[in-house]
Amino acid sequence: DQQVKQNSPSLSVQEGRISILNCDYTNSMFDYFLWYKKYPAEGPTFLISISSIKDKNEDGRFTVFLNKSAKHLSLHIVPSQPGDSAVYFCAANLQGGKLIFGQGTELSVKP
Partner 1 sequence: NAGVTQTPKFQVLKTGQSMTLQCAQDMNHNSMYWYRQDPGMGLRLIYYSASEGTTDKGEVPNGYNVSRLNKREFSLRLESAAPSQTSVYFCATSTGLVSNQPQHFGDGTRLSIL
Which of 21, 34, 64, 77 is the binder for partner 1 (CB under 8 A)?
34
21 vs 76: CA distance, rounded Å: 7
Q: Is 53 in the site for partner 1 (CB under 8 A)?
A: no
- Tell me the closest approach of the beta carbon of residue 83 to partner 1, in angstroms: 18
Question: Dihedrals φ, ψ of 84, to 5°?
Answer: -80, -10
Contacts (CB under 8 A) with partner 1, residues 81-110 = 89, 91, 93, 96-104
Among the listed residues 10, 7, 9, 12, the one whose alpha carbon sits nearest the alpha carbon of residue 82 = 12
- State which amino acid sits at residue 39: Y
Stretch that binds partner 1, among 2-10, 12-20, 60-68, 72-80 (CB under 8 A): 2-10
- Tell me the closest approach of the beta carbon of residue 91 to partner 1, in angstroms: 8
Which of 31, 55, 58, 59 is the binder for partner 1 (CB under 8 A)?
31
SS3 of 26, please? coil
52 vs 28: CA distance, rounded Å: 9
48 in Cβ contact with 77 (< 8 Å): no
Kindly list the residues in this chain that would bind partner 1 in the complex (CB under 8 A).
4, 6, 9, 31-32, 34, 36, 41-46, 49, 51, 89, 91, 93, 96-104
